[in-house]
Structure 1
Amino acid sequence: MEPGPFPEEVPDRKVRVVGSELVESYTVSLLAAKTLITKRSSLSFLQLTAEKKVDRRLLPPKKILGKNSKSLVERRQKELELYLQTLLQQFPEATPTPLACFLHFHLYEINGITAALAEELFHKGEQLLQAGEVFTLRPLQLYSVTQQLRLAKPTCFTGDAKTDLGHILDFTCRLRYLKISGTRGPVGTSNIQENSLSFDLSVFKSLLQIEISDCIAQRVQGLPSLRSTLATLSIHRSTESMMSVLVPEASEFPQWEPEGVESGCPVTAVVPVWRQLTTLDMSHNCISTIDDSVVRRLRLNHLYNLVHVDLSYNSLRSLEAAHTRLGNIKTLSLAGNQLEKLTGLSKLYSLVNLDLSHNQLAQLEEIRNIGALPCLEKLNLSSNPICIIPDYRTKVLAQFGDRAAEVCLDCKVTTEKELDTVEVLKAIQKAKEAKDRMSHNDKKISEDTKPSAAPSSSSSSSSCPAQQSACPSQGNHVCIRLCSAEEV
C-alpha cells in the first residue's frame, strides 16, 4: 500500500487479498483494491467470461475436499488476487460494470467515483438546479473530480455518455448552494482519511453560499475564485486561522495588500476583495485570535457588505480594538469562547445582535463597555459567571440607561417590573454619583483654602517691610502680617 490515501499521480490500479473469513460453510475473501475494502459479496466471474471475452482458464479451479483448510484457503487467496489483478490489467480504462461494482470502485476509486457522480447529475442535475436546493458533495468526490481534470484523458473514456465528466462541469458552473461535508477517520471500509484530501473549488462559477465542515482549510484550493459571487461563507471544524480562509495567498506572499489600496511599500501580491460577502460563519473551529488577515481586510472597509459574523465556539480570549477588525457588522456571535473582558466592543456602533453566552464574564463593570452602543437590541449573556449575581437582569439592564426598555436580554423581553427596578437603580446610581462629585469638590476647596505654615522664629525679629517682602504668596492668596506700633 502507498503511504498516503491517494498519491498526486494515480499509479496502476492494484487489488490485494488481505485475509478471509469463514461464513457458515464457505470462505469469504477480504480484498484491498486501491484502498482497503472489506468484501462479503460475490462476483459472477462467468458473466465476465461471457460478456467481456475473459479467458475462463484464468479463473481459479474449484476445490471440493478440504476446502476450508488453512493452507488451501491461503493458496486460493493468492490465485484470486492474481485473477483480479489480471482483469484490471485487461481493462485499464473502462472496467466492466460487474467488476467495478464488486470492487466498490463507485465508492473508493477515482474513475468510479466521478463516473457515478456524472451519471447521477445526468439524470437529476437539471432538476436540482431548478429547485435551488443545497447540494452536498464529499471531499472524496471533489478530490476525484480534481484529479480527473489533471489527467490527460478524454472526459468520457468509458464509452458511456451518461458518465461523461462534462455533466459534472456543467452542473458545478451553475450551482449556487453547496455543502461539503467530510468525515473524521476512514471512509466506510477503506483506509482513506477524507479530511486530509485536497480539492479545487475553482470549477464552481456561480456559488452564492458554501458550507465546509471537517476538512483541512489549507488543503481547500480555489477559495479565492469565489470572491466575486459568494455571499455566505461557513467553515466548521476545519481551521485554526482566519487568514487561511480569507487570505490564503498570505502564506505564499508575505507582502500583500487588498485590491484598491494605495501602498507606499513594495508588495508581492494584490489580493482581490470579498465584495459580495454578507455572512461569515467560522464557528466551531480552533481560532484563538482575530488575526492579521481580518485586521487588514476589514479595518480598511473592503468587506463592503459584511453584516453577520459568527465566531462562536472557538478559543478567543481577547477582543482589543475589535471595531478596527470587525467593521460595521450588525450581528456578532462570540458564544462558547473564553472571554473575560469586553473592552474591545465599545465602538461597534452598528451592532444590533450580540451573543456572548458560554464565556467567562464575571464582572458587572464589563457590561458598561457595551451599555452605550446605540443600536444594540438583543444581548445574550447566559451561562456566564455573571449570571449568579443577585438581581442580575436588572443590574445588567441598568447599564443601558434610558435604552433599557429596548434591550432583549437572554432572549427574554424586559418586563415593566424590571424597568421599575431599573429606574430605582438608576436613581440610586445618580445620587451616588452626585454625592461623589460633591465630596470631591469639597475636598478640592479644602485643599485650596488651607492656611500657610506659621513663620519661623528667626523671621519674627525682622522689620515689617522686610517681612512683607519676604513673605511669599500662596497661589492666588496674599500673605499679610500685622505689625505692632513699635515696629512701625
Structure 2
Amino acid sequence: MEVHAIVDDLAEQLSKSGERWLHASAAKPKYFEFTPVELFAVTERMSLAEPTHELSADISHLVEFLHCVKNLKIRGARGYIGSSNVVWNALPFSLHLCKNILALWFTDCDVKMVSGLVNIRKTAKRIVVHYSMKNIEDLLLESSSIDDPNLLERWQRVEEVDFSFNDIDSIHPSIVLLKTMQRLNLSHNKIVNIGDQLQHLAFLTELDLSHNAIVHIDEWHTKLGNIKTLNLAGNKIANTHGLRRLFSLQTLDLSDNAISDIESASAVGKLPVLEKYDLRGNNVLNTIEYRTRVFEGFGERFTEIELDGRKADDREKDTVAVRLALQKAKKEREDLARLRKLQIDERIRFLSGEEHVARSV
C-alpha cells in the first residue's frame, strides 16, 4: 500500500481546503469523513521521520487539521481494497492526533482496529457506532488488559451514545466508563438481558432498546436508574409488571411486542409521572374497549396520558369517568361493610368479656 502517496494526497487536499472547511463547520457543524485506509496510512506515516519535500503536501497541514477537527466520521467498507488482498476493515489505525473531537462516528468499520482514544475520551460529547461492533468493550476498553473498568480512564464529557445497528448481545461492565452519558441507543442489536450495569449510570435518562430480543423485564427498577424515556418497541415482551416501579418514567414505548391482555398492559398504571404510553402492534389492541380499559388503569390521572399517540377523547373520558365513579362507590361500600364488621366483632368480644366476668363472680 502506498502510504506516502495516500498521506501526501490528504495533506495537499487539506492545505487547500482544510481551513475553509473548519471555518464552515464552526458556523454549521458537520462531519469530516475519513476511511480506515486513510487513517491507517496517517498512523504509519507518523511513525516515520521522513519529511515531505513539496510544501503543498507538507504533513503539518494534515496534523493541524486532525488537531482541530471537531466532528469526525470514519466510514469503512466490506471486502477487499480494489484488486488487492487487503481487507478494508482489517487495518489498525490511531486517533491520537485528534485533540478536539466533540462527535465521533464509525460506520461499516471494525472498532477493534481503533486505538489512540486518550484525547477523545476527554473531549467527545457524542459517539455513534453503526455496523462496526460486536462487543461494547472492543471500543471502550481499547485492548486494555485491565479486567476492572473502574480502574480505567472514563469518557469525561460524553452525553449521547448511539450503538444501534450492531451485533451486540450483552451490555459489558465497561459501559460504566460512560459515566456522564444521558442518552443511550442500543436499538437493532441482539440483546436478551440488560444485566446490572446501567444502574450505575446516574445521568442516564433516555434508553432505547427497541428491536432486540428481550423477553423478560423482571424487576427492572433494580437494573435501571432514573430513566425518563424507555423504548422497548419490537421485542418479545408479554407483560409490563417488571416496569411498575420505574417511578421516574415519563415515556414508554412497548409497540410491536407480545402483550395480549389488559392486566399485562395496565401494570404500569400506578407510575406517577408517565405521560406517553405506546402499545400499538400488540394483540391487546384487539380487546373490546381496549383504550378505555387501559385508561382506567391510570385512575384519576387518565386524562394526562397519551395512549398510542393520542389522549382520551370526550366519549372515552365519559366512559372512564363513569367506571372510576362506580369503582369508587364499590370501594366505599366495601370499606363501610368492613368497618361495620370490625365494630360488630369488637362488640361481640366486649360482650363475651362481660359474660366471662359475670360467670367468674
Superposition TM-score, scaled by structure 2 size: 0.74
Q: How far apart are 1:296 and its partner, in Å?
A: 8.6
What is the aligned partner in structure 1 of residue 187 from structure 2? none
Q: What is the correspondence of 1:363-402 to structure 2 with a 5 Å cutoff?
A: 363-402=261-300
What is the aligned partner in structure 2 of residue 207 from structure 1? 101
Secondary structure, counterpart of 2:128 in structure 1: strand
What is the aligned partner in structure 2 of residue 129 from structure 1? 22
Q: Deviations over 1:412-462 (max 9, x none)?
A: 3443333333324434554666677789x59x97xx89xxxxxxxxxxxxx
Q: How far apart are 1:118 and its partner, in Å?
A: 2.2
Q: How far apart are 1:172 and its partner, in Å?
A: 1.8
Is the CA contact (8 Å cut-off) linking 2:155 and 2:178 kept in structure 1? no
Q: How far apart are 1:356 and its partner, in Å?
A: 2.9
What is the aligned partner in structure 1 of residue 250 from structure 2? 352
What is the aligned partner in structure 1 of residue 49 from structure 2? 153
The whole-number CA distance in structure 1 between the counterparts of 2:324 and 2:171 is: 36
- CA spacing shift, 1:379–1:211, aligned 2, 3 Å: farther
Is the CA contact (8 Å cut-off) linking 1:278 and 1:308 kept in structure 2? no
- Of the candidates 277, 283, 295, which is equivalent to residue 158 of structure 2? 277
- CA spacing shift, 1:193–1:429, aligned 2, 3 Å: farther
Secondary structure, counterpart of 1:210 in structure 2: strand
Q: How far apart are 1:228 and its partner, in Å?
A: 2.2
Q: How far apart are 1:477 and its partner, in Å?
A: 6.1
> Identity of counterpart residues, as a percentage?
35
1:138 aligns with 2:32: no
What is the aligned partner in structure 1 of residue 182 from structure 2? none
Stretches of structure 2 that go unaligned for 5 or more consecutive residues are 180-196, 357-361
The whole-number CA distance in structure 2 between the counterparts of 1:435 and 1:413 is: 31
The whole-number CA distance in structure 2 between the counterparts of 1:155 and 1:307 is: 50
Q: How far apart are 1:122 and its partner, in Å?
A: 1.8
Superposition TM-score, scaled by structure 1 size: 0.57
Q: Which has the larger radius of gyration?
A: 1
Q: Deviations over 1:93-142 (max 9, x none)?
A: xxxxxxxxxxxxxxxx4333323322222222112212222222222222
The whole-number CA distance in structure 2 between the counterparts of 1:219 and 1:119 is: 26
Letter in 2 for 1:199: F
Q: What is the correspondence of 1:69-148 to structure 2 with a 5 Å cutoff?
A: 109-132=2-25, 133-148=30-45
Letter in 1 for 2:238: E
Letter in 1 for 2:10: L
Letter in 2 for 1:121: L
Secondary structure, counterpart of 2:122 in structure 1: coil
Is the CA contact (8 Å cut-off) linking 2:154 and 2:177 kept in structure 1? no
Count of matched residue pairs: 334
Task: Indicate the structure whose relative CO is greater, using CA pairs within 8 Å and at least 6 residues apart.
Answer: 2
Stretches of structure 1 that go unaligned for 5 or more consecutive residues are 1-33, 35-108, 258-268, 450-473, 482-488
Q: What is the correspondence of 1:222-301 to structure 2 with a 5 Å cutoff?
A: 222-223=116-117, 225-245=119-139, 247-248=140-141, 252-257=145-150, 269=151, 271-294=152-175
1:362 aligns with 2:243: no
Q: Deviations over 1:353-384 (max 9, x none)?
A: 33333333334334444333333333333223
- Of the candidates 163, 171, 178, which is equivalent to residue 72 of structure 2? 178
Q: Deviations over 1:314-352 (max 9, x none)?
A: 333444454455433433333333333444434444433
Q: What is the correspondence of 1:1-40 to structure 2 with a 5 Å cutoff?
A: none
- CA spacing shift, 1:412–1:250, aligned 2, 3 Å: farther
Secondary structure, counterpart of 2:105 in structure 1: strand
The whole-number CA distance in structure 2 between the counterparts of 1:140 and 1:416 is: 62
- CA spacing shift, 1:391–1:179, aligned 2, 3 Å: farther
